[in-house]
Amino acid sequence: MFVPWLLKLAVDAFQHPRPDGHPPSFYALLIMGAAAGQGIVRILSRTVLLNTSREIEYLIRNDLFARVVTLDQLSLARERTGDIISRFSNDLTNVRMLMGFGILSTINTVIIYLAAVFLMCRISPLLTLYAVLPFPIMILIVKRISAAMFHRSRRAQEELARISSQVEENASAAAVIRAYCREEAQSRRFREAGEHYLKSNLAIARLRGLMMPVMAGSGGAGALIVLFIGGSRVIAGTLTLGDFVAFNGYLAMLVWPSIIMGWILNLMQRGAASMSRLNHILEARPAVTEPADPIRPEAIRGEIEFRNLSFAYDSLPVLDGISLTVSPGMKVGITGPVGSGKSTLMKLAGRLLPVRDGQLFIDGTEINRIPLADLRNAIGFVPQESFLFSRSLRDNIAYGREDASEETVATAARLARLDGDIERFPDGYDTLVGERGVTLSGGQRQRAAIARALAKDPSILLLDDPLSAVDARTEEEILAGLAGFHGDRTVLVVSNRISALQGCDLIVVLDAGKIAEQGTHDELLARNGQYAAICREQQLRAEIEAL
């Protein structure tokens, strides 16, 4: 900001040299020094602010991930995977740009405006008033444009999230798409989503294209007024040539900030829209939380008691009045028709879904008062849909136990009857399974998930239909291996195969969210109820397949 003022003094020294004044060369050296200082300040300011914006992006990304991994199934079910990924990439980029270039340009613009207008008033208050006359009109127009830009920026980010979701979904379901010859249909859907995103961005571009000329036009109008009125005053002798040069220098400094202001406002609207989308995740609160007054047990033995347990997904009831006591070391089988609440009961036992107070107890302690880490470290859970990470088989088996030794991993694989398959793999336990275990068969994925649960050496083992993808012979081998592993562990196993339930101490039949029958295998057969009907149906199916 010193350069135009020094230029004014240099011009005055040329035009009206004084014996006791400084020569023009003195002011030239000062201008060079000011320019060098400007370069140093620019380098430092950009380094500090841009590095800070990267650090802010890093911190927000970590906070986002920490929030996502703590959200429960009910919270995540409302979000699309591609939409969450879009927030981690595109929305975070917009926020980083706002916190970096946006703040840098804003600070620069505010300082230049305040300093330039102040120095222009020192030269000529009246001429300054004429120069800034177009700016109030510009501010009103920009305000209207920026409000519309916020809504369109948010819409554009949502369209981009929709595109990300489609890409993620179609990449995961590539085999299904090809099997049903839906390539063209999916491509058409993607083009339609792309067209919506294009229209949203073109709408933003039109607003941005309107904003730039408004900014530049305001600066140009001010310069035209100064040229006419200021030039007249120089000719009349009421304004020195040096003052006129300095005034035009400061006015020229306002042109670029006026133009960049439109870009800043666009950046602010995009950043604000993206931050609101990020806050949707950051402010989300999981339904399953740590207890306010925790009771930390010395060890979990495995007693599970359901007391009139009920559960509903939103307004859809799934379980109603489940009362059941499972002693430590018991093996309980759970069966029933599809939609009877078997998987939900297993998730509630592991507190993967929210449980009402007073309805579920572990070792006599209400489950909501046990710290989540203590509870889940004592539980080995095999979900209905086996999920494997894109890592080696060894890492997947040892996932729940970081200190697992090679012997522990091998023992767990042997109990799950996966060791024979692993020996046939070229890289053995170091075999990479690909995303979601795509390189393995369904049965191998299930057995790897079982091995992962066994490697934890848990007090409670929750098996949610873990053998649905294996053949009868492998099932018998796995059950034989698990029989030796159970020991004094509490086991809850969900299965529709009678062969997996016969050896259970107690079998529970669920129907419409309620316990329809319970007892041993022989007791339920003697009652000739639902369980007996399931047995007869499976025996008949086996006889037909044997023909």
Tokens at 8, concatenated: 């004014």
- For the residues of 448-482, what is the DSSP string, one character each? HHHHHHHHT--SEEEEESTTTTS-HHHHHHHHHHH
What are the C-alpha distances in Å from 475 to residues 82, 326, 447?
A: 37, 25, 10
442 pLDDT more than 80? no
* Gap between the Cα atoms of 356 and 310, Å rounded: 8
Mean pLDDT of all residues belonging to the chain: 82
Sign of CA dihedral 282, 284, 290, 291: positive
The reported pLDDT for the residue numbered 486 is 67
- Going by their DSSP bridges, the two strands 304-313 and 316-326 should be labelled as antiparallel
Percent of the chain whose predicted confidence (pLDDT) is above 90: 2
Question: What one-character DSSP code corresponds to residue 398?
Answer: T
Question: Smallest Cα–Cα separation from 375: which of 272, 459, 259?
Answer: 459
Q: Which residue has the higher pLDDT, 336 or 139?
A: 336
The reported pLDDT for the residue numbered 473 is 72
- Binning pLDDT at 50, 70 and 90, where does residue 132 land? confident
* Gap between the Cα atoms of 109 and 421, Å rounded: 66
483 pLDDT more than 80? no
Phi, psi of 78 (to 5 degrees): -85, -10
510 pLDDT more than 70? yes
State the Cα torsion 513-514-516-520 to the nearest 10°.
100
Percent of the chain whose predicted confidence (pLDDT) is above 70: 94
pLDDT in tens, 167-218: 877 776 776 777 777 788 888 888 888 888 888 888 888 887 777 777 777 7
The full 3-state SS of 187-215, as one line of letters, equals HHHHHHHHHHHHHHHHHHHHHHHHHHHHH
* Gap between the Cα atoms of 422 and 420, Å rounded: 5
Q: What residue type is assigned to position 445 of the chain?
A: R
Mean of the pLDDT values across residues 21-49? 87
Question: Smallest Cα–Cα separation from 107: which of 163, 29, 190, 50?
Answer: 50
Q: Are 59 and 282 in contact (CB under 8 A)?
A: no
What are the C-alpha distances in Å from 314 to residues 33, 321, 344?
A: 69, 17, 13
Q: Are 479 and 317 in contact (CB under 8 A)?
A: no
492 pLDDT more than 80? yes
322 pLDDT more than 80? yes
- For the residues of 37-77, what is the DSSP string, one character each? HHHHHHHHHHHHHHHHHHHHHHHHHHHHHHHHHHS-HHHHH
* Gap between the Cα atoms of 15 and 135, Å rounded: 34
Q: Are 108 and 115 in contact (CB under 8 A)?
A: no
The reported pLDDT for the residue numbered 267 is 80
The reported pLDDT for the residue numbered 156 is 83
469 pLDDT more than 70? no
484 pLDDT more than 70? no
Tokens at 404, concatenated: 């697992």
- Going by their DSSP bridges, the two strands 360-362 and 506-511 should be labelled as unpaired
- Binning pLDDT at 50, 70 and 90, where does residue 163 land? confident
- Binning pLDDT at 50, 70 and 90, where does residue 36 land? very high
The reported pLDDT for the residue numbered 40 is 92
State the Cα torsion 246-247-250-255 to the nearest 10°.
-130
HSE at residue 108, side-chain half, CA atoms within 13 A, is: 22
Q: Which residue has the higher pLDDT, 82 or 425?
A: 425
Mean of the pLDDT values across residues 373-396? 84
Identify the structural domains of the chain with CATH numbers, from first to last.
2-149+200-282 (1.20.1560.10), 304-546 (3.40.50.300)
The reported pLDDT for the residue numbered 387 is 81
